[in-house]
Amino acid sequence: MEKPILVVASKQDGDAIAAIRAGFSEKLGRPLDFEIVEDEKITGGFIAIVDGTVYDNSYSSRLHDFGRRISASDDGETPRGSSFATVGAVLKHRVSSVESGSTTYKYGEVVSFADDIIQISGLSGCHYGELLDFGGGAIGLTLDLRLDGVGAALLDGSVSTSSVVHPTGRVAEICVGNELLGRVVDPLGRPLDGRDIRAIKYRPVEAPAPSITQRAPVNAPLETGILTVDSMIPIGRGQRELIIGDRQTGKTSIAVSTIINQVNKGVYCVYCAIGQKASTVSGIVRTLERAGAMENTVVVTAFSSSAAAMQYIAPYAACAVAEEFMYAGRDVVVVYDDLSKHAVAYRSMSLLLRRPSGREAYPGDVFYLHSRLLERAAHLSNDLGGGSITALPIVETMAGDISAYIPTNVISITDGQIYLESELFNSGQRPAVNVGLSVSRVGRSAQHKAMRAVSGSMRLNVAQYRDMAVFAQFGADIDSSTAAMLRSGERLMELLKQPSDTTFSLAEQTAILLAFSAGAFDGFERGDIDDARNGLLRYLSENADKLMRNINATGALSENDRSDLLRHFEQFSPAKGGGDDGGTE
């Protein structure tokens, strides 16, 4: 064991040295034989080096000055024979002789603080991502490691220069489990809804993604209740489906409708709001409460007024909450709203930490920022319980530019995207999904058999109608078959319109699409399609309830079920006298 060193202002103060030796012997439980080094520059007090740990109780209390003087001794700036040169030589010998680890400082000091970024001297044993305690309730997150200190971002509270910083030995973590269902929390697990949380389990916000061998194929459908999505852009449990579009085009509405549709389906939901206004998050929570969806939902939010570091860790914290359910064998949907603000928060921290910037001033690791988050979404193998996390990240574009840096990055990470178009939204087509630019790379393997049976040609029909509608705007002469296709396309687009607070079950979606292909809506004008659809669904609910429940339970459409539905469509049609049943109401 290396001999400990005790640096004092004067060797003549024998009583003080004896008291220090006795104090350390009592603290460590063994007698210590210090090598005494005199240095009048510490003014008073002492600096002890025991087993590689520095205990600084000097009056100057400037560890970084101490380190600089030692470093200066190597360059010949300190006179030969000075006490600092002696200490420097001893420390250099000790460091070179220790195989693992080096001299560590148990605490640090705030050198500068501006824009929630803190530069700290000391803390040489600190780890990346470790939480730091600044006292007075202030918490920071280590993001930059240097030889002479660390750079950190403030999560909460306030600090001042010369404040003493203590490492916590813990990484950022959040409480998890069923206790969080129905609650609104911040990325550190602290409640924001005015009620206490009795958490008994915590998970770190950062965690490795499941390996390939731990994953199972994505083949179980996740029903969103949105006819356009479920029929043409199916989402599977364990998939990563991007929702992308300009501001105010209905991106959040699609995510919220998906959460609402999971009520009574055994799927847990986590909604992560990043950089949103408190009023916006409150409105979403009220919407979920009215629909009864908060009972199986956790809301993790870092408001726009929160520190950039809180916005940075928010999606990772939400994913940690979801992982607890996934590894317990449950299916989870996680909405990240939105990753554009997440990237901006990370960019601001990186620039303030003086990291090199790249395209659009984003740091070079911005791709890793989102890939390590979205790769945590998976469908686990049966050996691990078969749970899943379905990620629905949201990215905002500017003027429909999907070739910008962040959109292209996230598109390359995800398994498909739902692209919302401003032109469609402003024309009244809501949800404003551009089917041509939207895709699900999982495809029909994550779709119910009943939906596959009735939606086979929908994408083609929508694409043909949109192309022909543009051509017809110029007033060109069109033949009868083209005119019929345009009328049919208009009715189909009207059927795909869906209010944000309305969701359709699998049986209802199947019935709507089968009725369209069977011509049940041909007798209605374009403006009457919505009422006709609602009337048809009411008619089936009253007269074919058992049939609809069977389709929902089995997920398939048998020939007998198809025949029964077609018979009901004929009875519903006004041409057959079925209008009195509510079909044309």
Give the pLDDT of residue 141.
Answer: 95
Helix (H) or strand (E) holding 398: none
User: 366-374 and 339-352 are packed helices; what angle lies between their axes, rounded to 10 degrees?
Assistant: 140
Helices (H), 233-390: 251-260, 278-290, 308-326, 339-352, 366-374
Helix (H) or strand (E) holding 551: helix 545-554
Which residue, among 214, 240, 217, 253, has the nearest Cα to 319 in the 3D structure? 240
**262: pLDDT confidence band, cut at 50, 70 and 90?**
very high
Give the pLDDT of residue 93.
Answer: 52
Superfamily for the 182-193+216-446 domain? P-loop containing nucleotide triphosphate hydrolases (3.40.50.300)
Superfamily for the 458-581 domain? ATP synthase alpha/beta chain, C-terminal domain (1.20.150.20)
pLDDT digits (tens, 9 = 90+) for 163-191: 889 989 899 999 999 999 999 999 999 99
Which residue, among 49, 41, 47, has the nearest Cα to 92 in the 3D structure? 49
Give the pLDDT of residue 2.
Answer: 67
Q: How far apart are CA 158 and CA 160, in angstroms?
A: 7
Give the pLDDT of residue 81.
Answer: 43
Q: What is the DSSP pairing of strand 164-171 with strand 130-135?
A: antiparallel
Q: Examine the residue annotation and report whether 237 is marked as an active-site residue of this protein.
A: no
User: 339-352 and 308-326 are packed helices; what angle lies between their axes, rounded to 10 degrees?
Assistant: 130
Ranges 26-40, 358-372, 480-494, 541-555: which has the least confidence: 26-40
DSSP string, 260-299: HTTTTTTEEEEEEEEEE-HHHHHHHHHHHHHTT-GGGEEE
**30: pLDDT confidence band, cut at 50, 70 and 90?**
confident
**102: pLDDT confidence band, cut at 50, 70 and 90?**
very low
Mean pLDDT of the chain: 86
pLDDT digits (tens, 9 = 90+) for 398-423: 988 999 999 999 999 999 999 999 99
Fill in the amino acid letter for 19.
Answer: A
Q: At residue 60, does pLDDT exceed 70?
A: no
**276: pLDDT confidence band, cut at 50, 70 and 90?**
very high
Q: Looking at the DSSP assignment, which residues form a beta bridge with residue 273?
A: 301, 337
Q: At residue 577, does pLDDT exceed 70?
A: no
Q: What percent of the chain has pLDDT over 90?
A: 61
107-172 classified as CATH 2.40.160.10? no
Average of per-residue pLDDT across 556-569: 93
Do the domains 107-172 and 458-581 sit in the same CATH topology, yes or no?
Answer: no
Which strands, in side-by-side order, build the sheet including 104-105?
A: 35-38, 5-8, 46-50, 53-56, 104-105
Which of 274 and 524 is assigned the larger pLDDT?
Answer: 274
Helix (H) or strand (E) holding 466: helix 458-472
Q: What is the DSSP pairing of strand 46-50 with strand 5-8?
A: antiparallel
Cα-Cα-Cα-Cα torsion 23, 25, 28, 32, nearest 10 degrees, comes to: 130
Strand, coil or helix: 485: helix
Which of 7 and 242 is assigned the larger pLDDT?
Answer: 242
Six-digit token string for 492: 């189909």
Domain ranges of the chain: 5-104, 107-172, 182-193+216-446, 458-581
The active-site residue, picked from 190, 247, 441, 549, is 441
Most confident listed range (18-22, 65-69, 93-97, 478-482): 18-22
Q: What is the largest CA-CA distance in the chain?
A: 114
Give the pLDDT of residue 91.
Answer: 53
Q: How far apart are CA 340 and CA 274, in angstroms?
A: 9
